[in-house]
């Protein structure tokens, strides 16, 4: 058994790769293990792009968190020289009373975030690619855009390895056992020991920690790319079309991205089937394509053909907030599930928080809302 590590990280996707980077930079002896070779298409962090926005309609409590995460992404870009962030702005659309418009305005006001309120005429004029109905309004945010998730993960892992982290790919963790002073980890090919373990296994976190009986559900989600038939149409490029979230009917939303070269990427927030991550249906039904094609016809001035689709997983908590906490019975085990379909943007900062927890340093962000004991009742 190799016991030469301060921290073992299980799962090197969005959160785990960032934790490996911060811990290795802090001179910890780190072993990172992943059952695949990240970035890969089998978890929750693939598919070209992830939205990052600050005026968080879900809750203002995320604003300082996302601002810190944005700073961490920009710093990572600077250190690595890699392109990780595309500043395309962010547009939230809905009717004036919709959850998203009210939520974005509330967060923007609470934190004094720069934003612009647009009526339907202004939306049509500034964003000719969009076809809003007469009652649609929008909030435009400048300091927002998209992250390139595959590049983000690859960069965190490359820099972690350069700083001395040992990374094992294509090796599956089978069990995690706390001993008196540390934790033993058994994988498909070996056994390892460390003072602490971070479990950042995304959709598989519940099966690795069965004693916790986590109230998580793993949900299938599909994203689609539609290719513009007019090659000289510039209205869908990142400097013309922001990332957007659009509540087009009460409680019904779609979101999407400008064209990065493969077409505009768009997805519905309609609930998908839940189940075991290893039995995820990765085939996309023609009815799923048609549902999105109808949205494209109704809400965009775009003559497009469906180019491709990709299946991904949300890992949902009952309240859709994250889990970042210590195991209640084994304090050497740290659990991180930046999940529920909105976690990528935060993962640069989640890595830093996990590194601080494992190093005995007070975390920079208040982690109270992300504790496990909120599920006890
Ligand atoms: C369609 C879709 C759209 C999204 N859009 C956005 C968005 O616009 N903005 C945003 O902020 N967020 C978004 N999210 C959410 C975000 O992408 C996820 O919250 C985030 O990527 C999850 O990261 P993670 O590290 O928890 O999981 P992952 O990145 O999936 O990493 C988990 C890793 O654990 C490994 N693993 C699992 N089990 C084991 C084991 N037994 N042994 C070893 N390794 C193991 C896996 O191989 C995997 O690499 C979206 C998610 C989806 C699915």
The domain limits of the chain are 2-45+150-213+319-375, 72-147+217-316
Which value, to the nearest 10 degrees, does the dihedral of the CA atoms of residues 363, 369, 370, 375 take? Answer: 150
The ligand 1 atom at the shortest distance from the C-alpha of residue 346 is: 11
The burial class, CB within 10 Å (0-12 / 13-18 / 19+), for 72 is buried
Q: How far is the CA of 39 from the centre of ligand 1 (A)?
A: 10
pLDDT of residue 80: 98
CA 85, 315, 329, 178 torsion-angle sign: negative
Is residue 101 pLDDT above 70, yes or no? yes
**CATH top-level class for 2-45+150-213+319-375?**
alpha beta
Measured in whole angstroms, how far is the alpha carbon of residue 179 from the centre of its chain?
32
SS3 letters for 262-301? CCEEEEECCCCCECCHHHCCCCCCHHHHHHHHHHHHHHEC
Q: How far is the CA of 22 from the centre of ligand 1 (A)?
A: 18
The ligand 1 atom at the shortest distance from the C-alpha of residue 38 is: 49
Cβ-Cβ contacts under 8 Å for 286 (sequence gap 6 or more): none
Nearest CA-CA partner of 195 in 350, 13, 357: 357
* Ligand 1, atom 49, residue with closest C-alpha: 13
pLDDT of residue 52: 98
Pocket perturbation via mutation, ligand 1, pick of 201, 208, 284 by most ligand atoms within 8 A of CB: 201
Q: Which two tokens stand for residue 268?
A: 């519905």
* Ligand 1, atom 13, residue with closest C-alpha: 342
Is residue 200 pLDDT above 80, yes or no? yes
261 phi/psi in degrees, rounded to 5: 125, -20
The ligand 1 atom at the shortest distance from the C-alpha of residue 312 is: 53
Among the CATH numbers 2.102.10.10, 3.30.9.10, 3.40.50.150, 3.55.40.20, which is that of 72-147+217-316? Answer: 3.30.9.10
Instruction: Give the chain's mean pLDDT.
Output: 97
* Ligand 1, atom 35, residue with closest C-alpha: 11
Q: How far is the CA of 204 from the centre of ligand 1 (A)?
A: 10
* Res. 377 pLDDT band, cuts 50 70 90: low
Q: DSSP letter string over 315-367?
A: EE-TTS--EEEE-SS-TTEEEEE--TT--GGGHHHHHHHHHHHHTTPPPSS--
28-38 pLDDT, tens per residue? 999 999 999 99
292 phi/psi in degrees, rounded to 5: -75, -35
277-319 pLDDT, tens per residue? 999 999 999 999 999 999 999 999 999 999 999 999 999 999 9
Pocket of ligand 1 (CB under 6 A): 10-16, 33-36, 38, 43-45, 50-51, 172-173, 200-202, 204, 208, 221, 223, 267, 312-314, 337-339, 341-345
Secondary structure element (H or E) that encloses residue 152, with its range: helix 149-162
The burial class, CB within 10 Å (0-12 / 13-18 / 19+), for 329 is exposed
* Res. 4 pLDDT band, cuts 50 70 90: confident
* Res. 355 pLDDT band, cuts 50 70 90: very high
pLDDT of residue 3: 78
Whether the bond between 39 and the residue before it is cis, its omega within 30 degrees of 0, is yes
193 and 184 in contact (C-beta within 8 Å)? yes
* Ligand 1, atom 20, residue with closest C-alpha: 344
More confident residue, 181 or 203: 203
């Amino acid at each position: 058994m190799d016991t030469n590590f301060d921290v073992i990280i299980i799962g090197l996707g969005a959160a785990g790769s960032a934790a490996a980077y911060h811990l290795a930079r802090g001179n910890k002896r780190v072993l990172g293990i992943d059952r695949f070779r990240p970035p890969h298409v089998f978890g929750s962090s693939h598919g070209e792009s992830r939205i990052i926005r600050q005026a968080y309609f879900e809750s203002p409590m995320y604003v300082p968190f996302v601002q810190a995460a944005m700073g961490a992404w920009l710093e990572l870009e600077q250190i690595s020289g890699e392109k990780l962030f595309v500043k395309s702005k962010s547009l939230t659309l809905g009717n004036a009373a919709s959850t998203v418009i009210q939520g974005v305005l509330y967060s923007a006001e609470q934190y004094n975030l720069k934003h612009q309120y647009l009526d339907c005429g202004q939306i049509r004029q500034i964003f000719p690619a969009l076809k809003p109905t007469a009652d649609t309004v929008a909030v435009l945010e400048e300091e927002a855009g998209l992250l390139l998730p595959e590049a983000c993960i690859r960069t965190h892992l490359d820099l972690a390895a350069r700083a001395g982290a040992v990374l094992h790919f294509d090796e599956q963790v089978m069990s995690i056992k706390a001993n008196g002073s540390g934790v033993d980890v058994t994988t498909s090919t070996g056994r390892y020991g460390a003072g602490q373990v971070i479990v950042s296994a995304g959709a598989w976190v519940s099966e690795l920690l069965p004693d916790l009986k986590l109230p998580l559900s793993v949900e299938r989600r599909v994203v689609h790319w539609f290719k513009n038939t007019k090659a000289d149409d510039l209205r869908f490029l990142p400097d013309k079309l922001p990332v957007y979230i659009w509540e087009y009917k009460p409680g019904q939303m779609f979101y999407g991205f400008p064209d990065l070269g493969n077409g505009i990427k768009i997805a519905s927030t309609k609930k998908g089937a839940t189940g075991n991550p290893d039995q995820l249906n990765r085939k996309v039904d023609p009815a799923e394509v048609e549902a999105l094609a109808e949205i494209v016809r109704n809400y965009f001035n775009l003559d497009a053909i469906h180019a491709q689709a990709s299946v991904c997983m949300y890992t949902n908590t009952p309240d859709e907030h994250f889990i970042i906490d210590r195991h209640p019975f084994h304090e050497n085990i740290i659990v991180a599930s930046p999940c529920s379909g909105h976690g990528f943007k935060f993962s640069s900062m989640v890595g830093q928080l996990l590194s601080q927890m494992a190093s005995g340093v007070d975390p920079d962000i208040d982690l109270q809302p992300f504790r496990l004991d909120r599920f006890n009742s």
